Structure 1
Amino acid sequence: MRNVPLADVDHIDRAVLPIATDYPPGHLLDWHGHRRAQFLHGATGVMVVDTAEGTWTVPPDRAVLIPPATRHRVRMLGVSTRSLYVEAGAVPWWPMACTVVDVPPLLRELLLASAEFEPDYGMAGRAGTIAALLLHEIAALTPLPFHVPVPVSPDLAALCRTYLDAPDTGIGNAAWAARVAMSERAFTRRFRSETGVSPAVWRSRARLLAAVPLLRAASVSEVTGRLGYSSPAAFTAAFTRTFGTPPSRFTTSRAGGGARP
């Protein structure tokens, strides 16, 4: 099913509904939710998924698992998706929070094949077998760390979302504390209690997450400068230490390295 609204097929009695959708650059799917669980795979481009609890950046050719009834929004940066909408009863192992995962070659091919299904595909034949195999493959995936939590308090959440939209490398704890009319010590203690990390650690991770969409159109050297790192080597080391893979895996620029095939 290609570019089919979920509302048109959600009533169909199938545990797995595959839908492929092409989005214009920069498209925003504003806040919404689904009664089904969603496996959202970006066959191209980068997705940024927000919920009340955090932000998940989905690099090219990865996916995010979204629990049923989770309100979320998605920024599509040059994305063509392969989604699976899954009845909750078919996936009791589904995570309770959004989770970014890798998409190995077999799963990628199964997603591609499922995009051609009719809405009421036969359960006894090839399509039904592929649908069942998709769930087995998803259950075996390992989470990836492309995520930062967002505080519950509206004032702290606003600070974090502003930073995620445009990381300010010159800002520190004192400036953040002043914006919410708190002492730096009290602010740091409150921030850590709501996120589990210090503000400085949070900003460092958020800055690295912001690099992922930038690497679509810029070299590692260019992103290094934009995010305030002292050198490409320092940026690459921090990125690799945090995400387990070098930034050159996500850039299409020759200067920054080859893109993942």
Structure 2
Amino acid sequence: MTKLPAPTVAALDESHRHSVGKIFHAGSSVIVHRSDDPAGYTVPPHSHRHVQLLCVFSGVVFVATGIGGWMIPPGHALLIPPRLEHSVEMMSDVSMRSVYLLPGDDALAKRFLQVLAVTQLVRSLIIEAIRLHDAGVEGRKSQLVLDLLAEEVSTLAPRPLGLPFPSDARLAELCRAFMEAPSAHLRLDQWADRLAMSRRTFTRFFLRETGLSFAAWRQQACLFACLPKLAAGAPVTQIAMLAGYDNVAAFTTMFTRRLGTPPRAYMRRALPG
């Protein structure tokens, strides 16, 4: 099941404290970084002064902020704005690449906190930027690679993998519990009763807190809970049943409509390198 990071601030471990500190104080306008972490590993809430393009080459990553959560499957990336506190949880064994850019690009600012589909060109540029960095290569070639990478990020297509979370504590508790045990059949009236609200009042309240209708949020939350299981190789039939769908066809239809490809094909995607 998808487990949301607890809403408390923990201390960064030594390795990530060193890594984040290095990124925060670096003078370069573009920095590249790679990391490979096991399932369950969590980087507690932190921030940095750079824009971060967090690119998942394999596995599934969940990034949580005070304004919502974002699930990043392989072949995708999240653009995180500067100084936004966020935590990163590995929902499976993960291989990530991050590109850090100093803020100032208006084109990038319009795409903050979007999950983006990574093109082959961007993948290749990230790999080359890291290779040059590891080899200590500086100069015109390195700068051209980084400049083109920054340019291409602004053209990446968004994917609907964001899940806004409410600020209201009571509603947030219900949302977190749902992520632990998602069900496509949960009715709006059940939560309205839990919060002692009328159906109409709850509908307006939920939309105001999340920016989504209850039905849209529920479907997206079910989708989130399924991605780590797909990455782990669980059968689609089992995942569909756990998500509360009566049959695989209904689940596959929802999945394909939201992500543009059937679930079996979707999780085969990964970025080598």
Residue 255 of structure 1 corresponds to which residue in structure 2?
none
Instruction: Decide whether the 8 Å contact of 1:16 with 1:131 is kept in 2.
Output: yes
Shift of 1:215: 0.7
Shift of 1:126: 2.0
Shift of 1:124: 2.7
Instruction: Decide whether the 8 Å contact of 1:12 with 1:119 is kept in 2.
Output: no
Shift of 1:132: 0.9
The secondary structure found in structure 2 opposite 1:63 is strand
Change (3 A) 1:9 1:237: closer
Detail structure 1 runs of 4+ shifted over 3 Å in the superposition. Answer: 117-123, 168-171
Residue 174 of structure 1 corresponds to which residue in structure 2?
189
Shift of 1:100: 0.4
Pick aligned residue for 1:210 from 222, 225, 233: 225
TM-score, normalised by the number of residues in structure 1: 0.87
Distance 2:107 2:83 in 1: 16
Shift of 1:63: 0.6
Residue 148 of structure 1 corresponds to which residue in structure 2?
163
Instruction: Decide whether the 8 Å contact of 1:44 with 1:79 is kept in 2.
Output: yes
Task: Give the unaligned 5+ runs of structure 1.
Answer: 252-258
Distance 2:22 2:85 in 1: 20
Pick aligned residue for 1:243 from 241, 259, 265: 259
Residue 97 of structure 2 corresponds to which residue in structure 1?
82
- The one-letter code matched in structure 2 to 1:108 is R
Distance 1:64 1:127 in 2: 23
TM-score, normalised by the number of residues in structure 2: 0.84
Task: Give the unaligned 5+ runs of structure 2.
Answer: 1-15
- The one-letter code matched in structure 1 to 2:255 is F
- The one-letter code matched in structure 1 to 2:239 is V
Q: Report sequence identity in percent.
A: 36
Residue 256 of structure 1 corresponds to which residue in structure 2?
none
Per-residue deviation, residues 107-157 of structure 1 (Å, max 9, x unmatched):
111111222344895653322211111101111112111112222322222
Residue 260 of structure 1 corresponds to which residue in structure 2?
269
Shift of 1:223: 1.0
- The one-letter code matched in structure 2 to 1:201 is A
The secondary structure found in structure 2 opposite 1:18 is strand
Shift of 1:26: 1.4
> What value does the CA root-mean-square deviation take over the aligned residues?
2.3
Q: Which fold has the larger relative contact order, with Cα–Cα distance below 8 Å and residues 6 or more apart in sequence?
A: 2
Q: How many residues align?
A: 252
Distance 1:11 1:234 in 2: 50
Instruction: Decide whether the 8 Å contact of 1:18 with 1:115 is kept in 2.
Output: yes
Residue 35 of structure 1 corresponds to which residue in structure 2?
49
Instruction: Decide whether the 8 Å contact of 1:121 with 1:128 is kept in 2.
Output: no
- The question of 1:219 aligning with 2:235 is answered yes
Distance 1:177 1:223 in 2: 27
